[in-house]
Amino acid sequence: MSIRIAVPKEREQHEKRVALTPEVAGKLVQKGFEVWVESGAGEKAYFSDEVYIQAGCKIEKDPKKLLGNGQIVLKIQPISPEEIEFMADSTMLVGFLFAHRHPEQVKRLFDKKITVFPMEKIPRVTRAQSMDALSSQSTVTGYKAVLMAADLSSRFFPMLTTAAGTIRPAKVLVLGAGVAGLQAIATAKRLGAIVEAYDVRPAVKEQVMSLGAKFLEIAVDAEAKGGYARELTPEEKKKEQEMLLEHVAAADVVITTAQIPGRDAPKLLPKEMVLKMKPGSVVIDLAAEGGGNCVLTEPGKMVTIDGIKIYGPLNVPAHLPVHASEMYAKNLFHFLMLLTHDGKSLELDLSDEIIRGTLLQEGGK
């Protein structure tokens, strides 16, 4: 008997993505899965119910019935308490969860013996690159952040030679050279800006420089397990702040991307540092959902102080729902291929580092 996959509509405000696109859903159907999609689940990403039907999916209008009959539920946003109650006991959830922010949902999932695979826990190993949803969505975020900055900036990004004289290129500083930061660097360079970047992990210097940016350095190595960054000591933070002050003041745009898994975002930009920037400058804080890298950031809002704009956008990947959904759906597809056999049986091989590293809880354990 085929495994039944349930894809509910994402109901969070401003969310336009869908967990499965028709193309990927069709591949799962061909693999032997039974795919049920809630009516309207893909409409904000421009995928109609009809296209899902053509791909071999079945459409369900009642979310309670959809989730109650699904053996594997695929989500993007963390599951809501109401959706958990709709799910049948001892089934499976695959999607972003961020357990440290949603302890009540985690407990209820545990009580219902639902096996949970949070997509943010996919290990950063070579075999798992095709499943790495944090990276795929961060790619979207880094790209879109630069377009937001260019839109808000009072200056051109590229150098222009005009009849009215030569216009110098904008200076962009990117803090954090993970996936989002690297994509931001590449996009800013494509737009013609002069780009500098800083990261507490010296190992990323080569990647930054390969994109044409200047890498800012201090004598600190804060790389932690899995390629993430650890929190700096007070002494290291002081060195960092002294170095950054000059470069932030000279920048026309600062894009911050620094986050620590399971912790609040580190504060990189104190008020006095931001106020050293020129009027008309812009700060895009991509860590807003984790509290922000800038002390002046108000998540989801634009703040203007002394002519300096500080914007902390939320859920940036939803601004590009077509490609963000396509990338996420492919991440899910590759992960499901690891968990199942021919779409008919589950194979939770806990000796596999990807399955073991992603699993949060299994059947009440």
CA–CA separation, 128 and 75 (whole Å): 19
Cα separation values, 22 from 100, 105, 137, Å = 32, 29, 19
Share of the chain above pLDDT 70, in %: 96
Core vs surface per residue 146-177: b (16+ CB within 10 A) or e: bebbbebbebbbeeeeeeeeeeebbbbbbbbb
Mean pLDDT, residues 54-77 taken together: 98
Q: What digits encode the pLDDT tens for the residues 86-111?
A: 999 999 999 999 998 899 999 999 99
**17, 105, 132, 136: which is the annotated catalytic residue?**
132
pLDDT at 229 over 70: no
pLDDT at 325 over 90: yes
CA–CA separation, 3 and 348 (whole Å): 14
**77, 105, 135, 281: which is the annotated catalytic residue?**
135
Structural domains of the chain sorted by starting position, each given as residue range(s) with its CATH number in brackets: 4-121+321-358 (3.40.50.720), 140-318 (3.40.50.720)
**Confidence category of residue 25, pLDDT binned at 50, 70, 90:** very high
Q: What digits encode the pLDDT tens for the residues 232-244?
A: 677 777 778 888 9
Q: How much is the mean pLDDT over the chain?
A: 93
E strands, the chain, are 4-7, 34-38, 58-60, 72-74, 92-95, 115-118, 160-162, 165-167, 171-175, 194-198, 214-216, 253-256, 282-285, 302-305, 308-311, 340-341, 345-346
CA–CA separation, 8 and 312 (whole Å): 28
Question: Does the active-site annotation cover 135?
Answer: yes
**Confidence category of residue 261, pLDDT binned at 50, 70, 90:** confident
pLDDT at 272 over 70: yes
Q: Are 318 and 120 in contact (CB under 8 A)?
A: no
Question: Does the active-site annotation cover 252?
Answer: no
Question: Does the active-site annotation cover 228?
Answer: yes
**54, 90, 129, 345: which is the annotated catalytic residue?**
129
**228, 230, 352, 361: which is the annotated catalytic residue?**
228
